[in-house]
Amino acid sequence: MSIEKIDWEKVNGLIPVITQDSSSNEVLMLAYMDEEALNLTLKTKQAHYFSRTKQRIWKKGESSGHLQNVKNIMLDCDNDTILLKVEQIGVACHTGRKSCFFTDLESGDSKIDVEINTTAKYGVIDNLYHVIESRKNDDPSKSYTAKLLQGKENSMLKKIVEEAGEFTFAIKDNDTEEIIYEAADIVYHMLVAMASKNINPDRVKQELARRFGLSGIEEKNSR
């Protein structure tokens, strides 16, 4: 089998995968596979990848239902890149667009062909984290999130302490609406701090699942 040609040490255990629509040949996304993810893809004929941010194997569409049915797997001439041709169910990008490649680098214009609201599928926390990540290089005078991320770390961290204090007083005052409001503030500022360290919230979910034996939470991988 061609899989034996892959030198996993050469690619540091992760081989880049270009995923392409088998009908239109449109490039949908770039991801990575470790050996286990590749074997799962070959076995199930559904795309599995290794997420460097979540630090786990994930089946494409495991949360959203936007699966990728594999039609063909090609290995390049250097045996260090895979071309995956798939039937895309729904959309490939978490933003709700068909392809992850929709922004012109020079003009900054975004192409919108197909767009689906993915919040209900992925969950508000995951979507918010992706929005925060996308603000990293924005103008801090126009984006509060960018201002936090590009400012002094102590200023960013003080906001978490401040919001935690306000949440505590809201609990003490037994003010339901204020408790919810301040809890949302804490979550947002924690996600900003996590994004500054490139830690995906999925890893917190995995840790909670490990602690409490919740094997059905997202680390299940739909194998």
Mean pLDDT of 111-123: 67
Residues paired with 103 in a beta bridge: 110
Q: How confident is the model at residue 121 (pLDDT cuts 50, 70, 90)?
A: low
CATH 3.40.630.40, applies to 126-216: no
Q: Which of 52-56, 69-73, 142-146, 157-161 has the lowest average pLDDT? A: 52-56
Question: 100-132 burial, b if ≥16 CB within 10 A, otherwise e?
Answer: bebeeeeeeeeeeeeebebeebbbeebbbbbeb
Say if CB 18 and CB 181 are below 8 A apart: no
Which residues, at least 6 apart from 45, have a Cβ–Cβ distance to it below 8 Å?
A: 69, 70
Tell me how far apart the alpha carbons of residues 186 and 171 are, in angstroms, rounded to a whole number: 14
Region of 187 on the Ramachandran plot (φ > 0 left; ψ -120 to 50 alpha; else beta): alpha
User: What is the chain's mean pLDDT, rounded?
Assistant: 90
Whole-model pTM: value is 0.68
Query: Residue 9 pLDDT more than 70?
Result: yes
Tell me how far apart the alpha carbons of residues 151 and 111 are, in angstroms, rounded to a whole number: 31
Mean pLDDT of 14-38: 96
Query: Residue 212 pLDDT more than 70?
Result: yes
> Where do the structural domains in the chain lie, given as residue ranges?
2-119, 126-216
User: Tell me, what's the pLDDT at 107?
Assistant: 80
Q: What is the pLDDT of residues 72-110, one digit of tens each?
A: 999 999 999 999 999 999 999 988 888 999 888 888 777
Tell me how far apart the alpha carbons of residues 13 and 29 are, in angstroms, rounded to a whole number: 20
What is residue 210's three-state secondary structure? Answer: helix
Q: Which CATH class is domain 2-119?
A: alpha beta
